[in-house]
Structures are given as C-alpha cells and as structure tokens.
Structure 1
C-alpha cells in the first residue's frame, strides 16, 4: 500500500475508533440510528484545495417505523463516490443511455458502460418500462381508468411512444467553496414515436395519436415520475444523479478558473475504481429488454373495443439523458426560509446523525490531506472491507474514493 493509501486508511480507522465521524459509524455499525442506508445520496461537498480540507455529507431517509438501520451503507456510499468519479473523469457528452429494440449498437457509450453509473441508468430505463407495463394492466384500478379514458373512435388505432428520464427542477445553494444539493428530482418526458421496422405502429390518424399522446402525458406520466423519484427500484439512479449534480458544480468551478481538488481528474478518462470488472455488460440489459418484449413481460398489448374502434397499445422505447444538468441556485433568503439551519446541521453531522426539517438524516465526514507534493500520485483505495469511508486528495488532483477493508485488493461482490 502506498504512503497515501496508508495515511488514508489510518485516518479513517482513527475516525471510527474515536467516534468522530457519523458516516464512519453508520457504515461500520449494523444498527445505527434507524437510517435507511439504501437511500444514501451525496448532498454536500466543501472543497478547500489550498488547505487540503474536504468535507462531504450524505443524506438518507429514516428507516421504516419500528426498524433500525437498514440497507448496505458500505455498498451505497461506495457507489455514490464511484459515480462522482465517473461524472468527473468522462465528458458529459457520454452521459446517455438508449433502449430501443431497433438500435442494439447504440445502447450506451462504451466508457460509461464500464461503470456503475452507466449500469444504474440502463437498469432504471428498463425498470421504467416495467413500471409502465404494470400501470397499463387493466386489472388494476389505474389500468382500468386508463383504458376507459381512451374514449371512442372509428377504425383500428395504434399508439407507441418514447419515454425518457432527464433532470428535473434541481435546486442548490452555494456558499463560497461549499455546495448544498437542496433538491434533485428527476422528471420524465414522453412523445409519440413510431419505432419502425417490425415494431412499427403505422397509425393513420394523426389527430388520434395526438389525443392519446396527451392522455399519456396527463395520466401516465405523473405516476411514472412519482415512481422514479420515490420507489426503491430507482434508488441507484437517484444516487447516481445527485453525484452528477455535485460533479457539475465542480466542473463549473474548474471552468471558471477556480482551483479545485479535482482538477487533474476532470475529463481525464481515468475511471480508476469506478471502472467495473465484475463481468456485467450493457448488452445484458438490452437482451433482457428484447426478451421482455417477446414475452410481453411489461409491453402490454391490449385490444379495447370502444364503439366501432379497436385500440392497440404497443411498446415504449426510452432512455436516460444526464448530459445537461440545469440547476437553479437559490439565494440566502430562500435557503434560510426553506432549509433553516442546514449548514449547522451538516456541520454537526460530521460527528453524529442530524435530522433536517424535511425528515432527512445527514451523515458527514471531514478529511484533511497531507501537504500537496508528499506523493506524486495516489492509487485507488478499494482494498478490504471494514466499512469506513476514505476520501484522499492527492497533489496532482487525482481523487481517490474507497474503503479500508484490511489486506488484499478486490472488488466488492454484487448484491
């Protein structure tokens, strides 16, 4: 282990032993404060490269009533820090995924496809199609209302659409060298789209297509947006997105000429520990998508007679696009009104869990690196598993996220 890695591991161990880090305690404890660690998201970063002081905090939801700490905090915190590295090391033009049955060679950018962030995006896209399929089931209350709302028409009508996930109304607060991610919702867009080929809808009634597109937008879309932002199945995507918001802030500071602790990593292509080597491949998700279409797992094809019409609902293609992250920066007055005392809460969260007014639980940590130049380059610290988060800032700007797990080097097993 390099000098930098040894220093980071001993620093993290000291935090855990002294109880000085709420994050370290939460990750190394099997029962800590009733926190749902599966919902951990990186929501705060303070970067002071001149002093080598880096602070960060995660927020998480409380565990269900009557339950103590739940979820694998080590895995979720590792994911969040790996995602941050991905969003910094790769160019934003790469941050998209696309699941369309006619485009097997345009599923994901090859570099993004080697990361956990890319996997979270692809699997969320597939999950969104399952969510829609469940909603279309006419045996459910919502499905029955949907099909009833189709109305009456003449002839055989067909409708297919494209639905994709994008950033929603992101709100952040900046305080000099610190960023607070106040809200980072995702939203979903939809438009009628004929996929073509053997999947073609070939509807001949544009007015009817427009009417059904509006029904999709007004009735189906709110349910899917709600699921994307709240359902456990989409937690990995939400965790990846909040890291994307933090990375965008770092990028903007860098582009504006501010020195950051991450300068050497930005657009370097150096994925380090964020690069997966567990055998997962993006094509697996595409093949599962095609199989699901073939087996009609979530592609609901329903023929409904309304007067003299037959309506056929066919498949939906889609994607996720994080290439652009527009964010509204709130002023101090709005920050105080909507999130009173949040800076104090985050600072206190370095030593113990703190709950904010919205019910979120904050867990933080502070790292101070040795003098820049003490080493020339830091490697990746993913070399054991005891559950303590370490963030090391190296002199050349390479950022290392990892966990002290004892001797040996290896990737964590997949859940």
Structure 2
C-alpha cells in the first residue's frame, strides 16, 4: 500500500506548525496579542466587500443626519433565503403516548438527518425537550414557527437587510466598515457596531424590524461618552416602524448623550421601510389552507405572508401575550420583525382579489389595523376572522342573491331568513347585526342623553306626551368604492347604510299605540332621519361591534366581482356559483339558532329596551322592526386618475402583501397581508438548503449574535485546530513509514 509523494512538504509542515502555534495561543492566552500591545478583535471589513455590493465611492453615501422615515414612494421589498419555511406544516401525533413513541423512534440527534428531512425537525425538538437548558414551553407548532424556522431566518434576514441598506444608501468604499468592534483601554470589547465610518465619525446599527437589543443602550452610553468618541454620532436604521419600547429607549439614550457642537442630536433613527420576503420552495411538509381556495387538495392550497401571520395568530389575548413574551426572550438581538401579535385581526377585511385564472388561483390581500402596543395588548384571533372572510366569500358565491336577506319582524316569525342562508356564518352575522342595530337605534333615542332628550322633546304629542310611530329599520349596502385594475379589483371602501320608514305591525307594543296623523308621522320620521339615523350609521361603519358585518360585506363585493368574471370565462369557482350548496362552509364555533335570535328580538320589542319618566309622567318605550338586505352589491368603479391620485402606492403594497405582511404606505396604522389560492409544492422561488447556524435545539435556539466576541466558539475552534494539526503531523509521519 502506498500514497503519492506529497509536493512542497516543507511549506505544508510549516503551515501546520503555524496553525498549531496559533491555536495554542488562542486556547491558552485568549485572543492573540498583536504588536503594540493591542488586543485583536475580528477586523472590520469594508461593507461593500462583506456584502458583495457595488457602488460608487466617489458619490457621497450615508444615513440621514436627522431622525426621519424613508419617503413612501421608495418603500420596497428585499428577499432572503429560509428553506425551513417549507416545513411549517409538520405536526406531531395528538395522543401523548403516540407522540412519545414517535419521537423516541426518531431520537435526539438531528445531525443524523439532512436539512429538509422532517426527521431533523423532530429530532431537534426532541433534543430541546429532553436535554435543553431551557425546554420550549409552548406547543410543537409554536416551537416550529417561533424557534426552528425563525432562528434560521433571523440572521439571514438581518444580513439581507444590511446588504440592502449598504446598497441603497451607497455605504461603499474604504471608509465604510462593517462589524466594527469597539474596545476599552484594556482591549476588551465594549460594543460591536454593524457599521462605522471614522472619517464622518458615526456608528450605525441595523435592525430589520422595529425592535432593539435591550443590552445595547447601556453600552452605547459608554462608547459615546468615551473621550475617543465624544464627537461621534450613533444612527439606528430600522426596516419597520419602531416598536413603542424601542422608540422610548432610543429617545432616552439620545437625551442622555445630548447634541453635538452644532446643536444636532448625536443619536438619531432612520426607518428605511422595506419588507422582508422569504424565499423557499413549498413542498409536501408545507402548510396549505383553504382561504378563498375553490379546490383544496393534497400538497396544494392557499399560502402567503398573510396566511403565515393568520395561522400563527394566537387564539386569545392571553396566549398572544405568552407568544410576545417568548419572542422577546428568543430574540435577544432585537432582530425580530412584526409578528401576528402586532396585527389587530378584529379589523381584518378583504381588500383585493386578483384575476381568477382557471387552474392558477388568484392573489388576494387583506387589510388590518396595527396593534398600537402589542407588548401589553397583542392581537389575537386571526384564524377565526380569516375563516369568516373566506366562508362568507363562498357563501355569496354558492347561494343565489335572492337569499341574501334577514328579517326581524314581530309579525313574521316564519320569515326570519332563508334556511340555507341560516346554516352559514354570513347569515348568522347579518341577523345578529340586525338585532344589534335595533338596540343601538333605541339607545340613540334614549332621553337620558342630550341627543335623545332633544329628539323626544321634538316629537309630535298625543294627550300631552311625545308619541313615536312604529318604524322599520334595515341595513343595506351603499355603493362600494372600487377600482378594477391590474387584473383584479381593489375594494377601497364598502360603507353601509340604514334605511328607515314608518310601518304598522299587529303585535301589541308596550304603552299602547299612538293615533298620529299623516303629518305628525312625517314630522317624526324626519326627526328620525336627521337626528338618529346618522349616529346609528356611524356606529355600524366604525364600531367594533359591527366589524363582522363589514367583513362579510367586503367579501360580498369580492364574490360579486368573481361572479362577473366567471360569467365571461370559466374559473375554478364555476361549480360553486349558484349551486345553493353551502355544506362546506357551515357555522363555526358555538351552536346557533336563528329562532333563538328572533325570540330575543321579540322580547325586546314587547318589553322595550328601556323606559323613562318625564315631566309629563308615564312610561315610554321604543320599539323598531327591520332587517338586513345584501341581495344587491352596488359598486362604483372610480377612474384611473382618481385611483392614482388617491392611492398611488396601493398597487405596490398589494403586490408585496401577497408574499409578506407589509405596511400600508398611505395609512400609517394599516397593514396589508395576503397570499395566493393555489400555491403548489412544485411552485416557488427555490432556495437551496444550507447548513444552519443553529437548529433551535437546546437552550431555546439563540443564534450567535450580539456585541461580545464568542470566546467559547474561538476556544472550541482552537482546540479543533490543535487536533487537526496533530492529526496531520501523525498522518505525515505515517506516510513516511509506508514510503520507506
């Protein structure tokens, strides 16, 4: 047995000797000492070289000198790879015994399995639960998304955002250095900055989201008060709107550090608003859902940034707070982006549906308000609201429009609503909204309020007391403001209206009837129309109590548009339209009966919502009858110039939202989030799996980031160098013996 004679052996052995010597210094002395007695931290590298960015060093680059936000016209997106996103559909057996057996068979050693193999995921989770210093306390699904997938994404997303900033702001040339370590007089690391420019005297910290690392401001104080850096500035650059706690922390830091000699703040923030879009290929282990999907199937269905947020949304505020707390603990670096806790799902509405191309599905987008303080009051219940939107959409398609009404009339217990419509959540929402409207109508006339007192004092009188005729009130859609463009329809506004007319009923009313003349009735109705209806309409269009009604109405507008498209050319929805088959979308949640709602209404009608006594004495009751009629879905398609003027950024925002949740560039407190109805396992960007920096296993899965040099990692690497060096020396000597 022989080996080929190695070439240039003396130089190889010299290299081995150097490696062993360096490793020995690193192992036993810490970091190697350079000439001059200065401790060696990792040397900063030119930002353009580190991130492979081309620019023009001759052109001035840099961050804004004052705290500001990127102008809305420039908001855009950037991509980063995270193949683990394709594993978000994995589940464990629900039975505890079966789950334990399943995990025991897979084991705890994730290195046995390749990246992309679901067994690697299960083994990592198993190791975390059995051997982790901080076993994850939530469910497997929460661990999968919050640890296994997110830990893998965090550094990649942060690096992609940094590269984007370097490129967008032209932070190129020899003056712009990235990964700059600041040492104290003893050579110990105080702080690591993402970028520094010692010519312009500024440090920069990049955050792809809107959070911050709570350990950094104290270190920033030390650096910025150091005589060496007393005229330096610190600039924070965020990819999203700053979280309230971050804004407070940076503001406090700035107040402590003060201004420079020219009176300008030394600590500033810049929000380089841009949306991170994950790149991966959906596969057989991905989660697909049925949102707006006409034909859900194996390894296919709706997916998108909105779907991810909705599926990860906690079911209630308490579990949402637990989710937020876990996110803080897992993200010590402040690199997290806005999660489902930052979304007010109670305001979720469908705002765009794209072209319904047969076999290709369609893009869709929701809007929702931001939670103003998710740390203390996070959003929850996203799945429930999205299901209502989707189920209502299909209800409006499946049933013929003549069934889209409800009616609460004391004389008509047999005409509450169509039976099939009564089997759906859309029907339930309409009937409950009708009853709520009647209560609100009565309360708006309550004479204990200034408006109610003026209303009753202005009514026609019979025998010295105010008397009100019976009224029929019902809710109808007003024309929705839409724009048909880009192959789809933008639903800009979908207001609702309350109609009111006099109506006689046979059912006895409390307090008896009023014998009013036609002129008196017209006078009273005029007061109702001017003093009461506007307030009730305002509540229906804005109050949280009617959010579900508004939600199902926007779904009605979208469904009607799909009907029109299908009439021209067959879509995936053709078999559903006018089928009168709604068994796929039954009422979810607690059991509901339309007759029980009617009985509650009848009680209110007979007994009154309230009573009061005035100077004229006696008891007066308010009673109303009416309904909700969605049989029509009127819309007004605004012109292109009107749309462009009023909503210049909406097309871009909508397109981005299909891939990832994003800020609305036109309304500060609004988010857009969406997806596509027919994403398939074979469709996607296709990111090649790479070795992960952390599996999210033992200690909760924290990535190696932060200010301090990871000495433990250096020591481990140094020990490995010694082992490799010794092994190579042994191997070289062994070869000589074989060759002699």
Q: Tell me the distance in 2 between the aligned counterparts of 1:352 and 1:184.
A: 22
Offset, 1:236: 1.0
Offset, 1:39: 1.2
Note closer, same or farther for the CA distance 1:288–1:152 as it changes in structure 2 (3 Å cut). Answer: closer
1:164 matched to 2:490:
no
2:352 aligned counterpart, secondary structure: strand
CA contact (8 A) 2:442 2:622 kept: no
Offset, 1:218: 0.3
Q: 2:537 aligns with which of 225, 228, 239?
A: 225
Which TM-score applies when normalising by structure 1? Answer: 0.78
Q: 1:216 aligns with which of 507, 516, 528?
A: 528
1:91 matched to 2:91:
no
> Alignment RMSD, CA only?
3.0
Per-residue Cα deviation, 1:199-219 (whole angstroms, up to 9, x for no partner): 483523111110000000000
Per-residue Cα deviation, 1:126-182 (whole angstroms, up to 9, x for no partner): 101111222222222322232233366765644121110000131111125311101
Offset, 1:301: 5.2
Q: Tell me the distance in 1 between the aligned counterparts of 2:599 and 2:485.
A: 46
Note closer, same or farther for the CA distance 1:356–1:96 as it changes in structure 2 (3 Å cut). Answer: farther
CA contact (8 A) 2:508 2:606 kept: no
Offset, 1:92: 0.4
Offset, 1:48: 3.9
Q: Tell me the distance in 2 between the aligned counterparts of 1:20 and 1:191.
A: 46
1:107 aligned counterpart, secondary structure: coil
Structure number with bigger Rg: 2
1:321 matched to 2:321:
no
Q: 2:459 aligns with which of 150, 156, 163?
A: 150
Q: How does 1:130-141 map to 2 (within 5 A)?
A: 130-141=439-450
**Which residue does 1:40 correspond to in 2?**
348
Note closer, same or farther for the CA distance 1:318–1:301 as it changes in structure 2 (3 Å cut). Answer: farther
Aligned length: 359
Q: Tell me the distance in 1 between the aligned counterparts of 2:636 and 2:559.
A: 15
- Structure 1: 5+ residue runs without aligned partners? 372-415
**Which residue does 1:69 correspond to in 2?**
378
Per-residue Cα deviation, 1:99-135 (whole angstroms, up to 9, x for no partner): 0111111001000000000000000001011112222
Per-residue Cα deviation, 1:22-81 (whole angstroms, up to 9, x for no partner): 441244044526221011111111134246142111111222456553230010001110
Q: Tell me the distance in 2 between the aligned counterparts of 1:226 and 1:8.
A: 47
**Which residue does 2:652 correspond to in 1?**
344
- Structure 2: 5+ residue runs without aligned partners? 1-88, 91-281, 290-298, 314-319, 325-338, 682-740
Q: Tell me the distance in 1 between the aligned counterparts of 2:358 and 2:623.
A: 54
**Which residue does 2:582 correspond to in 1?**
271
Q: Tell me the distance in 1 between the aligned counterparts of 2:612 and 2:675.
A: 52
Note closer, same or farther for the CA distance 1:217–1:64 as it changes in structure 2 (3 Å cut). Answer: farther
1:318 aligned counterpart, secondary structure: strand
Q: Tell me the distance in 1 between the aligned counterparts of 2:431 and 2:464.
A: 37
**Which residue does 2:366 correspond to in 1?**
58
Q: Tell me the distance in 2 between the aligned counterparts of 1:64 and 1:111.
A: 40
Note closer, same or farther for the CA distance 1:276–1:226 as it changes in structure 2 (3 Å cut). Answer: same
1:272 aligned counterpart, secondary structure: coil
2:597 aligned counterpart, secondary structure: helix
Q: 1:286 aligns with which of 594, 598, 602?
A: 598
**Which residue does 2:566 correspond to in 1?**
254
1:201 aligned counterpart, secondary structure: coil
2:344 aligned counterpart, secondary structure: strand
1:12 matched to 2:12:
no
Offset, 1:370: 5.3
CA contact (8 A) 1:99 1:317 kept: yes
1:25 matched to 2:334:
no
CA contact (8 A) 1:349 1:362 kept: yes
Per-residue Cα deviation, 1:314-371 (whole angstroms, up to 9, x for no partner): 4100100000111001121111111121110011113132224234321111243559
1:174 matched to 2:484:
yes
Note closer, same or farther for the CA distance 1:133–1:347 as it changes in structure 2 (3 Å cut). Answer: same
Q: 1:123 aligns with which of 428, 432, 436?
A: 432
CA contact (8 A) 1:194 1:201 kept: no
2:366 aligned counterpart, secondary structure: strand
**Which residue does 2:107 correspond to in 1?**
none
Note closer, same or farther for the CA distance 1:272–1:10 as it changes in structure 2 (3 Å cut). Answer: farther
Q: Tell me the distance in 2 between the aligned counterparts of 1:9 and 1:209.
A: 67
1:234 matched to 2:546:
yes
Note closer, same or farther for the CA distance 1:281–1:117 as it changes in structure 2 (3 Å cut). Answer: same
Q: 1:331 aligns with which of 610, 628, 639?
A: 639
Which deviates further from its counterpart, 309-318 or 351-360? 309-318
2:584 aligned counterpart, secondary structure: helix
Q: Tell me the distance in 2 between the aligned counterparts of 1:239 and 1:246.
A: 11
Offset, 1:259: 2.5
Return the structure number with greater relative CO, CA threshold 8 A, min gap 6: 1
Which TM-score applies when normalising by structure 2? Answer: 0.45
**Which residue does 2:500 correspond to in 1?**
190
2:513 aligned counterpart, secondary structure: coil
Q: Tell me the distance in 2 between the aligned counterparts of 1:276 and 1:52.
A: 29
CA contact (8 A) 1:160 1:313 kept: no
1:218 aligned counterpart, secondary structure: helix
Q: Tell me the distance in 1 between the aligned counterparts of 2:480 and 2:498.
A: 14
**Which residue does 2:157 correspond to in 1?**
none
